[in-house]
Amino acid sequence: MAPPAQSQRSASPSQPSGKGEVSDLKSQLRQLAGSRAPGVDDSKRELFKKVISYMTIGVDVSSVFGEMVMCSATSDIVLKKMCYLYVGNYAKVNPDLALLTINFLQRDCKDEDPIIRGLALRSLCSLRVTNLVEYLVGPLGSGLKDNNSYVRMVAVIGVLKLYHISASTCIDADFPLTLKHLMLNDPDTQVVANCLSALQEIWSSEASMSEEASREREALLSKPIVYHLLNRIKEFSEWAQCLLLELVAKYVPSDSNDIFDIMNLLEDRLQHANGAVVLATVKVFLHLTLSMTDVHQQVYERIKAPLLTLVSSGSPEQSYAVLSHLHLLVMRAPFIFASDYKHFYCQYNEPSYVKKLKLEMLTAVANESNTYEIVTELCEYAANVDITIARESIRAVGKIALQQYDVNAIVDRLLQFLEMEKDYVTAEALVLVKDLLRKYPQWSHDCIAVVGSISTQNVQEPKAKAALIWMLGEYSQDMHDAPYILESLIENWDEEHSAEVSTYLFWGYGFIMKISSYKSKIGQFDILNQQYWLIYTVFGQVRLQLLTAVMKCFFKRPPETQNALGAALAAGLADFHQVGFHNVGLQDVHDRALFYYRLLQYNVSVAENVVNPPKQAVSVFADTQSSEIKDRIFDEFNSLSVVYQKPSYMFTDKEHRGPFEFSDELGNVSIGAESADNVVPANRVEANDKDLLLSTSEKEESRGPTHNGSAYSAPLYDSSSASISAANSLSELAISNPTSAGNASSSSLAIDDLLGLGLPATPAAAPAPASAPLPPPLKLNPKAVLDPGTFQQKWRQLGISFSQEFSMSPQGVAALTTPQALLKHMQGHSIHCIASGGQSPNFKFFFFAQKAEESSNYLVECVINTSSAKAQIKIKADDQSTSQAFSDIFQSALSKFTVS
């Protein structure tokens, strides 16, 4: 029996009986250990249960280890199970004692009862004690061959456990190959499924070390294996089906028949009662059809109904998970749920995490035809009991308004919100009205009438207050009271947010401390700026707005505002002296006040131009997430990434990325770790897949291509764009001036030579344009090391500092029939390959190099098309200023590549 419900889970002094009872147990167990009296098993069971209960509530019962092991010499399976449990719990902390158990566990592994064999094997593998590894191999080997599937099932996972304790032991015993054999031949589906889980994990983490493993990893995705497993899918348990479908989603179909076969086979999985299976099937459908735009659209139609059912039936947690996915889908295909918006209406009783997602969905699906109804529904929620939901729904209305549908009706609604006389509703609505006016100035007349009637007393939140003040300033000519409202606000300057100041102070200070401990030189200023900005927006926000608003008002209605302006400037100038230096926000207020003051002194009309320039309406507010990130999340459909709306590298450690997680930008081309010789032919399929993905997404919608190329066309850093123009002028120079290249013998070699001689390896000697500063000579570290994980991370983090397309020499192209040769060649120039792949005519390589003295890295993606003899490179660099120089080195190295 379990002891009375005690909440202490440690042998704390408040539980004085703990120790005494444990020693009591110990002696009782010892008495029973040797006894063979009838009924002794029952009393043992009682004692064991007590031990387990103690263990669970946190009493340390490791002292009875010996007695437990002695008592376990029994045929009673219940006793055995409890004993295994106990051993499993304490073996890790008592490796010496664990040795005691090996003997009886090994014996049990040969028991007649398959369940005991299985359990013993599982316990044996779960001990997690490194020095006992040698005892595992034997029982595991026979467990894998056991004629009972329960034992085999346990043994397969046992192999994976062994791998995590000691990878080398596992590999040396050839267990992965045995698993592969079992996966293809075992009659029991759970054994097969476990083999698949184990192999995926083992081969993925081995892949970076051994060529064979990465080949095996690819082989899991080969047609025979995938088809073999798919044909059995209906026998699999629901969880195993999820596992298998996850695998199929990564499969690269050979042609469209392949795709249709798989989809036909899996069609009925969309009707499975288990929502996880349905989602996994959806993922397969979406990913298989990426290359076929029209079929892809049909897939959206097909998956709609099952997904909506999942949202409206089942647990709220399931709705939550599914809604996150729907949100992702609707971002890619906005039309998909446009007519089903009613499914996203909130129910009164739903938990707010579901409501929040539904609100997001409603904003996302809004279009011309349904906006009116959606907004009507959203307005219902504004009066919701749950204030966060009420706020969210008002914000949703605003977002829809900014999407330009049916603005007229929405403005009316927002104005109604303002009249609702609930503080938080008014606050949210004010912020929205401000944003709306920035986009649609033509509505100012309607809005201002209402805004003018709001009492500033009722607006307390800084954000809302700032919005209101902005409108007062901007439209002071239309608001009769504007100068007087502003004046009264200025009178209360000091009361502004005295309560908040202390918290913000603390907050701001923390930031600065963080920044100063931030070591990296690059980017420090950026971050500083950002933080200053952050602090001031929250902090001095209201006062800053107030200053500007009074200025604006002054130019429109000078006589009425003059006093207020004087008071505001005086108060603003005083801020600095009041609070002290670490108050960044108020420093800003002081500075702005001073600036205005001097500006007015200098020239009033200039000041008016500065403060009240003609404004252009904001047409598009910035999107928060890049399309690259969105695509990456889509690649990881049906995982936590979608729920967090972040790609997995942002929240998992490298060693915990699941199987196949490398299959992104870089990973699709498999990782040929460190050695350049490691180009694996098997990865061609993946590279091919990659190309497929690229081309389709480009075709599909012009939302900016996926992983590659012009996705990076966002504004670059100044330094890098400078280097690009420098680079362009360099190459132009070289090409437009062929004679300078000297002794070009045949025209076909001209360009080759140009690149080879015109841009020599040491860029110091390059004919750099006079305007560009001469870059220092760049030396590369011949022994540079970079692990694939870091590479991936950097590749994602850095922007492209340089990209160019140029022609390859025919010799170089000819030599590419053996891509490995290129890797060796580049290595000779201290440029190392980290991954490569592709199929003729398209090859793709990822290279890296390091500066000789410092650990500054250059990352290169190089795509070579052998049929057009063009090479395209993209360079990302830690130190962007030298990327130009590096690119020269790279190109010259590449141009020297010929058949050896």
Q: Do the Cβ atoms of 152 and 144 come closer than 8 Å? A: yes
Residue entry with tokens 């209360």 = 492
The residues in 261-280 that bind another protein, with binding defined as CB under 8 A, are: 264, 267-268, 271-276, 278-280
Considering the complex, state which of residue 150 and residue 597 has its C-beta at the smaller distance from another protein.
150
Phi, psi of 620 (to 5 degrees): -130, 130
Give min distance, CB of 583 to another protein, in A. 29
Q: Does 457 bind another protein (CB under 8 A)?
A: no
SS3 614: coil
List, as one string, the DSSP characters of 59-125: ---GGGHHHHHHHT-SS-HHHHHHHHHHHHHHTTT-HHHHHHHHHHHHHHTT-SSHHHHHHHHHHHH
In 3D space, the residue among 876, 756, 866, 753 whose CA is nearest the CA of residue 819 turns out to be: 866
The residues in 665-724 that bind another protein, with binding defined as CB under 8 A, are: none
Q: What is the distance, to the nearest Å, from the Cα of residue 223 to the centroid of all Cα atoms in its chain?
A: 30
Contact string (CB under 8 A) for another protein, positions 166-205, x = contact? ----------------------x-x--xx--x---x----
Q: Does 455 bind another protein (CB under 8 A)?
A: no
CA angle 834, 838, 839 (to 5 degrees): 150
Give min distance, CB of 192 to another protein, in A. 13
Question: What is the C-alpha to C-alpha distance for residues 169 and 136, in angstroms, rounded to an integer?
Answer: 10
Which range touches another protein (CB under 8 A), out of 94-102, 344-352, 615-623, 687-695? 344-352
Tokens representing 289?
Answer: 């059809």
Considering the complex, state which of residue 49 and residue 413 has its C-beta at the smaller distance from another protein.
49
Instruction: Report which residue type is found at 228.
Output: H
Tokens representing 50?
Answer: 């007590």
The residues in 74-93 that bind another protein, with binding defined as CB under 8 A, are: 77-78, 81-82, 85, 92
Question: What is the C-alpha to C-alpha distance for residues 79 and 345, in angstroms, rounded to an integer?
Answer: 54
Residue entry with tokens 């346990």 = 154
SS3 849: strand
Q: Does 153 bind another protein (CB under 8 A)?
A: yes
List, edge to edge, every strand of the sheet that includes 832-839. 802-807, 870-877, 857-865, 842-850, 832-839
Considering the complex, state which of residue 304 and residue 465 has its C-beta at the smaller distance from another protein.
304
Give min distance, CB of 241 to another protein, in A. 9
Residue 360 DSSP class: H
Considering the complex, state which of residue 116 and residue 816 has its C-beta at the smaller distance from another protein.
116
Size of the site for another protein (CB under 8 A): 111
Tokens representing 857?
Answer: 């890295």
In which element (H, E) is residue 54 found?
helix 40-57
Q: What is the Cβ-side half-sphere exposure of residue 125, based on CA atoms within 13 angstroms?
A: 26
Considering the complex, state which of residue 5 and residue 622 has its C-beta at the smaller distance from another protein.
5
Burial of 137 (0-12, 13-18, 19+ CB in 10 A): middle
Give min distance, CB of 659 to another protein, in A. 7
Q: Does 230 bind another protein (CB under 8 A)?
A: no
Considering the complex, state which of residue 280 and residue 831 has its C-beta at the smaller distance from another protein.
280
Q: Does 651 bind another protein (CB under 8 A)?
A: yes
Give min distance, CB of 581 to another protein, in A. 34
Considering the complex, state which of residue 387 and residue 714 has its C-beta at the smaller distance from another protein.
387
The residues in 231-260 that bind another protein, with binding defined as CB under 8 A, are: 234-235, 237-239, 242-243, 246
Give min distance, CB of 17 to another protein, in A. 18
In which element (H, E) is residue 832 found?
strand 832-839
Contact string (CB under 8 A) for another protein, positions 460-479, x = contact? --------------------
Q: What radius of gyration, in Å, describes the C-alpha atoms of the chain? A: 35
- Find the binder of another protein among 91, 221, 262, 321 (CB under 8 A): 321
Considering the complex, state which of residue 119 and residue 871 has its C-beta at the smaller distance from another protein.
119
Give min distance, CB of 451 to another protein, in A. 22
Q: Does 329 bind another protein (CB under 8 A)?
A: no
Q: Does 95 bind another protein (CB under 8 A)?
A: no
- Find the binder of another protein among 177, 449, 617, 640 (CB under 8 A): 640
Q: What is the distance, to the nearest Å, from the Cα of residue 800 to the centroid of all Cα atoms in its chain?
A: 20
Give min distance, CB of 157 to another protein, in A. 5
Considering the complex, state which of residue 621 and residue 651 has its C-beta at the smaller distance from another protein.
651
Considering the complex, state which of residue 65 and residue 712 has its C-beta at the smaller distance from another protein.
65
The residues in 506-565 that bind another protein, with binding defined as CB under 8 A, are: none
- Find the binder of another protein among 334, 523, 580, 658 (CB under 8 A): 658
Contact string (CB under 8 A) for another protein, positions 824-853, x = contact? ------------------------------
The residues in 99-138 that bind another protein, with binding defined as CB under 8 A, are: 113-115, 119, 122, 128
Which range touches another protein (CB under 8 A), out of 156-164, 524-532, 811-819, 838-846? 156-164
Q: At what angle do helices 189-206 and 175-185 cross, to 10 degrees?
A: 140
Q: At what angle do helices 149-165 and 114-125 cross, to 10 degrees?
A: 10
- Find the binder of another protein among 69, 132, 154, 429 (CB under 8 A): 154
Q: Does 46 bind another protein (CB under 8 A)?
A: no
- Find the binder of another protein among 305, 513, 604, 764 (CB under 8 A): 305
Q: Does 145 bind another protein (CB under 8 A)?
A: no
Question: What is the C-alpha to C-alpha distance for residues 378 and 200, in angstroms, rounded to an integer?
Answer: 46
In which element (H, E) is residue 826 found?
helix 819-828
**Which residues does 818 contact at the CB level (< 8 Å), separation at least 6?**
none
- Find the binder of another protein among 63, 106, 166, 309 (CB under 8 A): 309
Which range touches another protein (CB under 8 A), out of 318-326, 457-465, 583-591, 837-845? 318-326
Phi, psi of 626 (to 5 degrees): -75, 155
Considering the complex, state which of residue 3 and residue 566 has its C-beta at the smaller distance from another protein.
3
Tokens representing 209?
Answer: 């070390």
Give min distance, CB of 362 to another protein, in A. 12
Give min distance, CB of 189 to another protein, in A. 8
Q: Does 870 bind another protein (CB under 8 A)?
A: no
The residues in 374-433 that bind another protein, with binding defined as CB under 8 A, are: 376-377, 380, 383-388, 422
Residue entry with tokens 């760049």 = 778
Residue 671 DSSP class: B
Which range touches another protein (CB under 8 A), out of 469-477, 562-570, 644-652, 759-767? 644-652
Tokens representing 763?
Answer: 């860029």
Question: What is the C-alpha to C-alpha distance for residues 636 and 644, in angstroms, rounded to an integer?
Answer: 11
Considering the complex, state which of residue 128 and residue 413 has its C-beta at the smaller distance from another protein.
128
Instruction: Report which residue type is found at 421.
Output: E
Q: Does 635 bind another protein (CB under 8 A)?
A: no
Give min distance, CB of 634 to another protein, in A. 14
Burial of 75 (0-12, 13-18, 19+ CB in 10 A): exposed
Considering the complex, state which of residue 298 and residue 729 has its C-beta at the smaller distance from another protein.
298
Give min distance, CB of 78 to another protein, in A. 5
Q: Is 39 left (phi over 0), alpha (psi -120 to 50) or beta?
A: left
Tokens representing 135?
Answer: 């005892």
Within a 10 A sphere around the Cβ of 334, how many other Cβ atoms? 13
Give min distance, CB of 146 to another protein, in A. 11
Burial of 142 (0-12, 13-18, 19+ CB in 10 A): middle
